[in-house]
Amino acid sequence: AQSVTQLGSHVSVSEGALVLLRCNYSSSVPPYLFWYVQYPNQGLQLLLKYTTGATLVKGINGFEAEFKKSETSFHLTKPSAHMSDAAEYFCGYNFNKFYFGSGTKLNVKP
Amino acid sequence: DAGITQSPRHKVTETGTPVTLRCHQTENHRYMYWYRQDPGHGLRLIHYSYGVKDTDKGEVSDGYSVSRSKTEDFLLTLESATSSQTSVYFCAISESGGATGELFFGEGSRLTVL
């Protein structure tokens, strides 16, 4: 079945440290991948998306993700975590309908 | 922010009662979606609409029905609520349902079924 898998339901980093949130997709998933972020008690908002073209995608708030077909991965990174990055992050794909992974909660320690 | 309003934002009801959640948009977007969010499951699609009176099922549609009589309104009905339907429900809209589309979310409706 088509799916995305987010490795790690909870990730904790120190402020200023690298953020790496992992997302792998099944090979049958069409290459229309995205990351959304959900702040507490809010709906989700788009961080970035990959459709075609450059495989390194830059998003809002300093986040970026690289589409790696050979590894079937679309990991989300940010060089330096900020307290305001604490949220839940969802990887997913879009093929007429939008499908989401199970989410990764990011905790940022002072 | 996209103009999406969900109502009610919070509801507590009893098993067996009918419940209707409303999603209202002011963006004139063609596509509208209902998701439920549960810990460990991310967001799962319940139903979606690709136009007035055009709806289709998502991955967890059992026990839910929808209606869309106007572009701006998308109603989600639980005919007879069960405790397993306790969840946070999100409405989302998209101008394009294709690969380049983007979802805009409402703020959610928290439903508790006792």
pLDDT in tens, B4-43: 999 999 999 999 999 999 999 999 999 999 999 998 888 9
Provide the percentage of residues in chain B whose pLDDT is more than 70. 95
CA of A41 vs chain B CAs: smallest distance (Å): 7
pLDDT at B77 (0 to 100)? 98
Contact B24, B4 (CB under 8 A): yes
Percentages (nearest 5) of helix, strand, coil residues in chain A: 10, 55, 35
B99/A103 touch (CB, cutoff 8 Å), yes or no: no
**Does A51 score more than 60 pLDDT?**
yes
The owner of tokens 């409303």 is: B22
Lowest mean pLDDT of A12-16, B88-92, B95-99, name the range: B95-99
A95/B106 touch (CB, cutoff 8 Å), yes or no: no
| Residue from B85, B80, B88, B101 nearest B32 by CA | B101
The owner of tokens 């928290």 is: B110
Lowest mean pLDDT of A62-66, A68-72, B108-112, name the range: A68-72
Amino acid identity, position A89:
Y
Determine contact: B48 vs chain A, CB below 8 A. yes
Q: Which residues, 6 or more positions from B46, have their beta carbon under 8 angstroms from its beta carbon?
A: B34, B35, B36, B58, B60, B61, B64, B66, B76, B89
Measure the CA–CA gap between B78 and B21, rounded to whole angstroms: 9
pLDDT at A30 (0 to 100)? 74
**Does A1 score more than 70 pLDDT?**
no
A99/B45 touch (CB, cutoff 8 Å), yes or no: yes
pLDDT at A53 (0 to 100)? 82
Disruptive mutation site among A23, A96, A105 for chain B (greatest number of B CBs within 10 Å): A96
Measure the CA–CA gap between B54 and A3, rounded to whole angstroms: 26
For range A38-50, the mean pLDDT: 91
pLDDT at B30 (0 to 100)? 92
pLDDT at A98 (0 to 100)? 86
Nearest residue on chain A to B43, alpha-carbon basis: A100
